[in-house]
Amino acid sequence: MAEEVLAPLAGTVLSVAVTVGATVEEDDELLVLEAMKMETVIYAPSEGEVTAVLVKAGDQVEEDDPLATID
C-alpha cells in the first residue's frame, strides 16, 4: 500500500536524498526542508520502495503538501 510522505511544515526544499526506485528503511533520510532559517530532515515513515518524488531542490512547500510516495 502506497504511503504518501507529507510535509510536516511549510518551507523550502533544500535537497532530496533519494530517487524513484530507491529502497529505504524506516527512518532513512528522504529530504531536507528549510523552514524559518532552520534545516529539518524528513525521514521515511516506513520501509519500502520510493515510487514517486514530487519535489526538487528549490521548491516551496506548504504544510501537508505531498513530498514523495513509498510502497
Partner 1 sequence: MAFLDQLGILSVTPGAVVMWVISLTLIYLAISKQYEPLLLLPIGFGILIANLPLTGLMTPGEGLIWRFYHYGVEWEVIPPLIFLGLGAHTDFGPLLSQPRLIFLGAAAQGGVYVTFFAAHAFGFTLQESASIGIIGGADGPTAIFLAAQLAPHLLGACAVAAYSYMALVPIIQPPIMRLLTTKEERAIRMKKARKVGAREKLVFPIAATMVIVLLVPASAPLIAMFMLGNLFRESKVVDRLTDTAQNALMNIVTMFLGISVGATMSAATFLRTDVLFIFALGLVAFAVSTASGVLLAKLMNLFTADKINPLIGAAGVSAVPMAARVAHKMGAEANKKNYLLMFAMGPNLSGVIGTVIAAGIFLTMLQ
Residue 34 near partner 1 by CB under 8 A:
no
Residue 46 near partner 1 by CB under 8 A:
no
Residue 47 near partner 1 by CB under 8 A:
no
CA trace torsion 50, 69, 31, 67 (10° rounding): 150
* Stretch of 15-23, 35-43, 51-59 contacting partner 1, by CB under 8 A: 35-43
Alpha carbon 9 to its chain's center: 11
Sign of CA dihedral 18, 26, 65, 49: positive
The footprint of partner 1 (CB under 8 A) covers 8-10, 27, 35-38, 40-41, 43, 45, 63
